[in-house]
Chains A and B, each alone.
Chain A
Amino acid sequence: MKILVLIGNVPDTTTKVKFNADKTAFDTNGVQWIINPWDELALTRALELKEAAGSTIESIFVANVGRSETEGTLRKALAVGADEAIRVDTDPKDAFYVASQLAQVAKGFDLIFAGIEASDYNGAAVGGMLAELLGIQSVSAVSGIQIESGNLKISREIDGGSQTLAMNLPLLAIVQKGIAKEPRIPAMRGIMMARSKKLTVVAPMEVETLTSIVTFESPAPKAACKMVAEDQARELIRLLHEEAKVL
């Protein structure tokens, strides 16, 4: 059995977000890149499944759409324990573009993990599109995955409870947090060996870009907080009515 884990390259969660002058692109200057947190958990679960007793998983591949600067992120995935990496050499333009690029390298895998969304643009679309393009079934919001004597058991959090599904392969699982407890810390040997693992660079396909970004807006800065003494209820009501105009 072969597993593919999609790896998004996203800014570190503590990044101060800035945009270019005409507000149509994110300014990547000085940004630290990490594995998309959902993808990192998916990879962790894939590794756990591979290491489990009686596992029939031969290899775990990771794939990403990005320029050479994103290879550090793929090598981190290799350091943690993935066996091989694939990079489609182009800028990830929109969800359909990314899914189409991935479709050319994602054929032949039994189980594909996609994160439910990426922590940068939060598009939440690539997983489903990729399954469609590959013509395989997919299941979303997966928070648990078990392989018991070759059978796949999937659990999902749904409104007010959870659901357990028995699924066949091939399958694309769109995972959310809970799929694994915590991302793994790579061992020193893993880090040192990552460069000697295979990383294949694939040329992009011609794919139409379906969306273009008109503008980005940062949220308005929080207004200063006005404190009202606890015995000044009347004043509070006046402020809410006259200044905040919410009453």
Chain B
Amino acid sequence: MNFEYSEEQLMIQQAARDYAQRELIKDVLERDARSEFPAEHIKNLASLGFMGMMVDPKYDGSGLDAISYVLAIEELSKIDASASVIVSVNNSLVCFGLEKFGTEEQKQKYLRPLASGKKIGAFLLSEPEAGSDATSQRTLAEDKGDYYLVNGTKNWITNANSASTYILIAQTDPDKKHKGINALIVDKNSPGISLGPHEDKMGMRSSDTHSVMFTDVKVPKSNRIGEDGFGFKFAMQVLEAGRIGIASQAVGLASGALERSIAYSKERKAFGTVIANHQSVAFKLAEMAVKVENARNLCLKAAWLKDNHQPYGIASAMAKQYAADIAMEVTTEAVQIHGGYGYVKEYHVERLMREAKLTQIYEGTSEIQKIVISRDLLK
């Protein structure tokens, strides 16, 4: 066993940290207040190679391993989890699935611009009536011979407006239940697609989230990913990988909050000494650090399994559940350590706390992760 990072992994971590601490930090508060998409940052992150980190360079990706991905997402998330979710969705929900299951033609046409970040992708699974229970898809993709006719509504779609390419999960044969579901690549500007208003969210406000309505949208058969009926399996495999990204995001939120708390507690004085000298504050920091370390290790383990072509679904569910839950705890404690200052925007920790909440909900709630983990224990 080797706990050492490679020189490249450290350089990648540093590059992500530099971009976050030098650039994302500049306007993160304003973008949060105004729910403004970080268009310029995403362009810059794309040119640095962060939009298709694990994609093979022959499809214009960066060719990194999953360990590097974990480290990069953590660093971006310490400062700006909105930017990191845009990056994470593109990397692990969109590029990953296309590279793993797409045809060569699909990869040339769709993966290349997504991996280089010239275009952005979105993943459309959730519906108004189908969140945790992703099998009850109501969006229909009727088989019309050489195309599918799509009708229905998807909900809570990250990158819905900024994306050019959608990976859509929809029901083709309701009788076959989840075995009748397909995954389709859809051009966002296809006729018949319209967006709901930008959701006014509690956190990650600078990522764009919309519902997406499909009315008689024609999707060529050649845009189906995998065999007929492969869509549900596809979605589950993509989410297994995606959870490593969201788990790393949660680690970043927690470690970012911890870093700010350490700095603050060494400066803020109360009762004649810096608050770090009060044992209850110091112990809080210690407990936060142990949680962050545990969560990061779970992410790295899942990433290591993925890099070594071993099953990683349970490991990524564990990482996602634990990291998201401790992110909520650690960011809440960070606000506590900051006292009143923690409750105002300028000190960032209240935002980290608002953002941490989402990591317990999307890409499978903490409860759903526990279902995945416990089913495996009890099988």
Q: Which residues of A come within 8 Å of B, CB atoms?
A: 72, 75-76, 79, 182, 185-189, 191-192, 194-195
Contact = CB atoms under 8 A, between A and B. Distances in A.
A191 B57 contact: no
Contact of A79 (B11, B50, B53): B11
B59 to A, nearest CB: 13
A195 B47 CA distance: 21
B63 A192 contact: yes
Contact of A187 (B7, B8, B22, B48): B48
Given A72-B7, A75-B7, A79-B11, A188 B50 contact: yes
A188 B7 contact: no
Contact of B49 (A75, A76, A188, A195): A188
A189 B18 contact: no
Which of A182, A187, A191 has its CB near the most chain B CB atoms (within 10 A)?
Answer: A191
Interface of chain A: mostly helix, strand, loop or mixed = helix
B19 A188 contact: no
Given A72-B7, A79-B11, A188 B22 contact: no
A227 to B, nearest CB: 12
Interface string B111-141: 0000000000000000000000000000000
Given A187-B47, A188-B48, A188-B50, 18 more contacts: A72-B7, A75-B7, A76-B11, A185-B48, A186-B48, A187-B15, A188-B12, A188-B15, A188-B53, A189-B49, A189-B63, A191-B8, A191-B12, A192-B62, A192-B63, A192-B64, A194-B8, A194-B11
B193 to A, nearest CB: 32
Chain B interface category by residue count: 10 to 19
A189 B62 contact: yes
Contact of B15 (A72, A75, A182, A186): A186
A188 B18 contact: no
Interface string B59-77: 0001110000000000000
A79 B62 CA distance: 13
A182 B49 CA distance: 19
